[in-house]
Amino acid sequence: MKILIFTASTGGGHKRAAAAIKAKINELSPETEVNIVDGMEAIDKVYNKTITEGYHIMATVIPEMYGKLYELTDEKEPAAKAVIKGNEIRAKKLLETIYKYEPDIIIICHAFITNMVARLKKKGLLKTKAISLITDYDAHRTYVSKDIDAFVLPDAGMAGKLHDEFEVPEEKIFPLGIPTFDCFIYNETREELCRHERLDPTVPTVLLMAGSFGVTDVLEFYAQLAMSSDPLQLIVITGRNIRLFDQFDKTILKLHTEKKTKLLYFVDNVEDYMHIADVIVTKPGGLTVTESIACNLPMAIYSAFPGQERYNAEFLVQRNAAVMIDKTNGAQVILDLLHDREKLSSMKESIKKLAHPNAAEDIFLLAKKMYEEDKA
């Protein structure tokens, strides 16, 4: 069997989901050929740059406008049709990539590519079965087309919107979860990890992540937490944002809080720090949220921009998996949560109910079943 996974560069989550599926398939079925392709880059580099940079600018510079556009394109008329039509126009440019890999199943991790594949199937240019993988906790209209063969949802509670509003047949809806790497699910004990990272397993620990766009509000949370009289360990990961890393470095030196802080640039073992932490301070990107859920880690959500991040945040708060914070109350909310062990325990129990530890495997099994049914 050959599987082609289409992803995109609008945030890192789509690519991480694709990579997690590929890793699981390689483990379970080495004979299965899996290829991951950035669909928008494959269509046209200018188009890819326009979409990815436009998304970045709108989400960070004019988030309210982005949020309005997100809402409009989730309605039936007319904005949604305009976006979907714009994507469909470029659909034929995907055919060269599809012909190159000759997949038996296509898995799609981005809404725009879903529109294009659906168009090709509708026009009879593509017979291959296609799975749309929704990587946020809101089912947006642009992910949905009647010509797609299956929809994988992060949570069963989203099925109603697909069925009732978007008229997706129940037999096409699969609430299997968003795939994560096994290291987020299975890891060493907290004590072992703390020993390896030279951290104290007996001290409450907060993990602060800048998010993919490096919002600097987290500096204020850090300063307030670091200067509190509470015994705390603070792990700060800035990703590849060197400017933010330097800002943290200067702040730590200024506050003389080196002893209670572990400052990190980009790391390839973020799961270790998630397993160590009692709370994570983060933006609510779909994959970061899912990885936190896999680690059974309560979340303090900040700076959720309008659109999918806000819906992710609302979903988590409603399910008792997260609390919302802002610049004025962030540190105190986090400290109160660390003091309230009963609340933390309750959140962990809620998070367990949201977890889909076998998502990557289940998605592969769904693809395999669809392939076998197609060949029967």
* Count of alpha carbons within 13 angstroms of residue 319, beta-carbon side: 23
Q: How confident is the model over 33-91, as pLDDT tens digits?
A: 999 999 888 887 666 666 666 555 555 655 666 555 656 565 655 544 545 555 566 78
* Chain region(s) in the chain for CATH 3.40.50.2000: 2-179+357-375, 186-354
How far is Cα 168 from Cα 9, in angstroms, rounded to an integer? 27
88, 94 Cβ separation under 8 angstroms: no
Q: Residue 324 pLDDT > 70, yes or no?
A: yes
pLDDT of residue 64: 66
Q: How confident is the model over 111-162, as pLDDT tens digits?
A: 888 988 998 998 899 999 999 999 999 877 777 888 999 999 999 999 998 9
Rounded mean pLDDT of 181-196? Answer: 91
pLDDT of residue 68: 59
214, 238 Cβ separation under 8 angstroms: yes
pLDDT of residue 79: 46
Which of the four pLDDT bands, split at 50, 70 and 90, describes residue 186?
A: confident
Which of the four pLDDT bands, split at 50, 70 and 90, describes residue 337?
A: very high
Element (H, E) at 263: strand 261-264
Contacts of 108 (CB under 8 A, 6+ apart): 5, 6, 39, 114, 117, 130, 131, 132, 133, 148
Q: Does the global pTM surpass 0.85?
A: yes
Distance between terminal CA atoms of the chain? 14
DSSP letter, residue 77: S
34 phi-psi bin (left φ>0, alpha ψ -120 to 50, beta other): beta
pLDDT of residue 309: 87
Q: Residue 373 pLDDT > 70, yes or no?
A: yes
Q: Residue 287 pLDDT > 70, yes or no?
A: yes
Q: What type of residue is 233?
A: Q
pLDDT of residue 318: 96
H helices then E strands: how many in the chain?
17, 12
Domain 186-354: assigned CATH number: 3.40.50.2000
Tokens 């609510």 locate to 284
Percent of the chain with pLDDT over 70: 85
Long-range contacts of 28-36 (CB under 8 A, 24+ apart): 28/361, 28/364, 29/1, 29/364, 29/368, 32/1, 32/2, 32/3, 32/364, 33/1, 33/2, 33/3, 34/2, 34/3, 34/5, 35/2, 35/3, 35/4, 35/5, 35/101, 35/103, 36/5, 36/7
Domain 2-179+357-375: assigned CATH number: 3.40.50.2000
Mean pLDDT of the chain: 87
Q: Residue 263 pLDDT > 70, yes or no?
A: yes
pLDDT of residue 219: 84
